[in-house]
Structure 1
Amino acid sequence: MKISQFLNKDNNNLDLARIILACLVIVGHSEAINGSGIYWIDPIEHFFKFTYSGAFAVKLFFFISGLVVTNSYLSKKSAIYFVISRIFRIIPALLFVLLVTVFIFGLALTKFEVLDYLSKLDYLIYIRRNLVFYSYYLLPGVFNENLYPNIVNGSFWSLRYEVACYIVLLILFIILGKRNKYYIIIIIIPIVLIFIDTLLPTRFLLSFIDNNPEKYLLPISFAYGAFLAVLSDKVMIGIYTVIFSILAFIAFKNTSFADFVFLFASCNILVYLSSRSFVLKLKPKYDISYGIYLWGFLIQQTIVHYLGHIYIGFHCVIAIIISVLLALLTFVFIEKPFIKKGKFVIDYIGRNMLKNTLIYEQKSIKE
Structure 2
Amino acid sequence: MDSRSNNFDCVRLLAALAVIYGHAFPLALLGSPTLLGNSIQAFAVKIFFSISGFLICKSWVSSAGLGNYIAKRALRIFPALIVLVLVTVLIVGPVLTSLSFSEYYSNLTVLYYLKNIMLYPVYNLVDLFSYNSYKGAVNGSLWSLPVEFFMYILIALLAIKRKRAVDASPSSVLFIATAIMVSLSLRLVHHTTPEIHPVVYGTDLISALDVAPYFLIGALYSYYSLERFFDMGVALFLVGFAVLFQPTSSVMQEAFLYVVAPYVILSFATTKTIYLHRVGRYGDFSYGIYLYGFLIQQVVNAVTKNSISPLQNALVSMPLAVLCACLSWHFIEKPALKYKTNLNFIFIRGKQHG
Q: Would the TM-score normalized by the shorter structure come out above 0.5?
A: yes
CA distance in 2, matches of 1:234, 1:49: 24
2:285 matched residue in structure 1 = 288
TM-score by length of 1: 0.83
Work out whether 1:321 is the aligned partner of 2:319. yes
The AA in structure 2 aligned to 1:299 is I
2:65 matched residue in structure 1 = 78
Describe the SS at the equivalent of 2:282. Answer: coil
Deviation at 1:86, TM superposition (A): 0.5
1:162 matched residue in structure 2 = 148
Which stretch of structure 1 is more off in the superposition, 177-186 or 20-29? Answer: 177-186
2:132 matched residue in structure 1 = 146
2:261 is aligned, of 261, 266, 287, to 266
Describe the SS at the equivalent of 1:124. Answer: helix
TM-score by length of 2: 0.86
1:237 matched residue in structure 2 = 230
The AA in structure 2 aligned to 1:160 is P
Alignment root-mean-square deviation, CA: 2.7
Does the CA-based 8 Å contact 1:184-1:230 persist in structure 2?
no
In the alignment, structure 1 segments of 5+ residues that lack a partner are 1-6, 358-367
Deviation at 1:10, TM superposition (A): 4.2
| Aligned sequence identity (%) | 28
Deviation at 1:165, TM superposition (A): 1.0
2:22 matched residue in structure 1 = 28
CA distance in 2, matches of 1:73, 1:294: 24
In the alignment, structure 2 segments of 5+ residues that lack a partner are none
Does the CA-based 8 Å contact 1:63-1:222 persist in structure 2?
yes
Does the CA-based 8 Å contact 1:172-1:187 persist in structure 2?
yes
CA distance in 2, matches of 1:101, 1:88: 20
Does the CA-based 8 Å contact 2:68-2:343 persist in structure 1?
no
- Cα deviation per residue 1:197-251 (whole Å; 9 max; x = unaligned)? 33444599xx958796x64331110011000001225741111254246436744
2:295 matched residue in structure 1 = 298
Deviation at 1:49, TM superposition (A): 6.2
1:226 matched residue in structure 2 = 219
Does the CA-based 8 Å contact 1:59-1:263 persist in structure 2?
no
1:14 matched residue in structure 2 = 8
1:337 matched residue in structure 2 = 335
CA distance in 1, matches of 2:158, 2:193: 21
Deviation at 1:130, TM superposition (A): 1.0
1:89 matched residue in structure 2 = 76
Which stretch of structure 1 is more off in the superposition, 70-79 or 326-335? Answer: 70-79
CA distance in 2, matches of 1:50, 1:329: 35
Deviation at 1:82, TM superposition (A): 1.1
CA separation of 1:96/1:211 partners in 2, compared to 1, >3 Å: closer, same or farther? closer
CA distance in 1, matches of 2:148, 2:45: 10
Larger Rg: 1
CA distance in 2, matches of 1:229, 1:295: 30
1:277 is aligned, of 273, 277, 295, to 273
2:249 matched residue in structure 1 = 255
- Cα deviation per residue 1:261-288 (whole Å; 9 max; x = unaligned)? 1353232222233314223244442111
Aligned length: 338
Q: Map 1:29-48; keep pairs closer than 5 Å.
A: 29-36=23-30, 44-45=33-34, 48=35
Deviation at 1:177, TM superposition (A): 6.3
CA separation of 1:283/1:89 partners in 2, compared to 1, >3 Å: closer, same or farther? closer
CA distance in 2, matches of 1:221, 1:317: 29
2:113 matched residue in structure 1 = 126
CA distance in 2, matches of 1:251, 1:346: 48
Does the CA-based 8 Å contact 1:16-1:284 persist in structure 2?
no
The AA in structure 2 aligned to 1:156 is L
CA separation of 1:165/1:15 partners in 2, compared to 1, >3 Å: closer, same or farther? same
2:37 is aligned, of 24, 46, 50, to 50
- Cα deviation per residue 1:86-139 (whole Å; 9 max; x = unaligned)? 011101110000001000001101110001101114572101x21222210111
CA separation of 1:147/1:123 partners in 2, compared to 1, >3 Å: closer, same or farther? closer
Describe the SS at the equivalent of 1:183. Answer: coil
1:308 is aligned, of 305, 309, 314, to 305
Deviation at 1:342, TM superposition (A): 3.4
Q: Map 1:104-115; keep pairs closer than 5 Å.
A: 104-115=91-102
The AA in structure 2 aligned to 1:341 is Y
1:363 matched residue in structure 2 = none
CA distance in 2, matches of 1:271, 1:49: 18
CA separation of 1:191/1:35 partners in 2, compared to 1, >3 Å: closer, same or farther? closer
CA distance in 2, matches of 1:265, 1:284: 29
